[in-house]
Amino acid sequence: MKLGIISDTHDRGEWVEVALAEFRRRGADRLIHCGDVTSPKTVALFAGRAVDFVLGNCDWDPGALEQAMTRIDATLHRPFGELELAGRRIAWIHGDDIGLFRSVENANHYDYLFYGHSHVAEQHRTGNTLVVNPGALHRVRDRQIALLDFATGDVEPITLKG
């Protein structure tokens, strides 16, 4: 099983399509979005995929976004997402609420914590938790996403070409 991680898409539909094509090419079974999708039209691009969202600080109309997510059979998690997949505990959050972010990061309850907000791709470990920002598709030179391969446990950063 493989999990695609994306964040801070900010209505960059052309880059969302590039990212989704890359996830398909690499065999991602499910996707999580770490917030700042921005509008329902961008949510609609994820139709046909198993995808879970959280909201970011630029997701100004949560009601419209939630309706769009419902229309594509996606799930909105609040205030952060958490799932158990392939025996691993996964959490994701936008990251703008630093108190909540630090609480989840330091809980030592998750194998992986994914976040966005900063638009800067990075990975570090806090206790038993691998903390990963996949990067962003907006206001960056290199547009990045990430892929978690449950077979290896590795999170691969992916720079998009387009």
Residues 6+ apart with CB under 8 A from 25: none
Q: What angle do CA 134, 138, 142 make, to 5 degrees?
A: 60
pLDDT tens readout for residues 58-81: 999 999 999 999 999 999 999 999
**DSSP helix, strand, coil percent of the chain (3-state; round to 5):** 20, 30, 45
Residue 132, pLDDT score: 98
Question: Under DSSP, is residue 71 helix (H, G, I), strand (E, B) or coil?
Answer: helix
- State pLDDT tens for residues 98-148: 999 999 999 999 999 999 999 999 999 999 999 999 999 999 999 999 999
Q: Output the pTM of the full model.
A: 0.97
Q: Which residues contact 108 (CB under 8 A, 6 or more apart)?
A: 126, 127, 128, 129
Indicate the number of domains in the chain.
1
User: 11's torsion region: left (phi>0), alpha (psi -120 to 50) or beta?
Assistant: left
CATH number of the structural domain spanning residue 118: 3.60.21.10
Question: Dihedral of the CA atoms 70, 39, 33, 140 (nearest 10)?
Answer: 170
158 contacts: CB under 8 Å, gap ≥ 6: 22, 26, 144, 145, 146, 147
Return the pLDDT at 162. Answer: 74
Whole domain around residue 41: which residue ranges? 2-159
The pLDDT tens digits of the residues spanning 10-64 come to 999 999 999 999 999 999 999 999 999 999 999 999 999 999 999 999 999 999 9
Residue 67: what pLDDT? 98
